[in-house]
Structures are given as C-alpha cells and as structure tokens.
Amino acid sequence: MVLVIYQILDLLLSVARWIIILQFIISLLVAFNVINTYNDFVRTVTMALDRMTEPLYRPIRRILPDFGGLDFSPMVVLLLLIILQDIVLPAVFRPLLLPAA
C-alpha cells in the first residue's frame, strides 16, 4: 500500500514537471510568434496550462523580487518539484519501503 502511494506521488510530481516544461516551450513559441493565440486550439491549450500552473506560481511570485519582464517563478517551482521528487519523497518513503530487519 505504501509503495502505491509513493508511485502515485512520484507520477503526479513528474506530470507537474512536464506541464511546467510544456508551458515554458509554448510561451516561447508564442513570444517569438511561431504560433499565435488567434488559433482557438492554441489559446485553449495556453489558458489551460496557465490555469493549472498559476496556483503553483502565485506564492513564489509573492516572495521573489520584481525582475522586470523576467518571471523566474516557473524555474523556482520546477527546482522545488525536482528536490521534492528526488530527495524528499525517497527519504520519507525509504524507511517504510525497506523490509524490517
């Protein structure tokens, strides 16, 4: 049961990481006018990604100082997700997953 919970949390963190990376790539493509937001599909995808990631970015944006036009909150959230997934999650679940000696 503990292994299933660990795998679900690991999968959710991986999906969150990929959503942030996908949002970054799409925002670059929109910024360099490779794709435009006049297309309904592109607008729908960008709005959906913004709505999924905004709750993660909002607390970080309150803490970070203003850097003008640069937004470092996705990078900070991505770094926190990597730390959570690769360091914290295994450290918490390792004693529960190891067989008792």
Tens of pLDDT along 58-68?
Answer: 999 999 998 88
User: Which pLDDT band holds residue 83 (cuts at 50, 70, 90)?
Assistant: very high
Alpha-carbon span 57 to 66, nearest angstrom: 14
Q: What is the pLDDT of residues 37-52, one digit of tens each?
A: 899 999 999 999 999 9
Query: Structure pTM?
Result: 0.86
Of the ranges 18-22, 33-37, 51-55, which one carries the lowest mean pLDDT score?
Answer: 33-37
Distances (CA, A) of 50 to 2, 10, 82: 32, 22, 20
- Residue 33 is given by DSSP the state T
User: Which pLDDT band holds residue 100 (cuts at 50, 70, 90)?
Assistant: low
Question: What is the phi-psi region of residue 46: left when phi exceeds 0, alpha when psi lies from -120 to 50, beta otherwise?
Answer: alpha
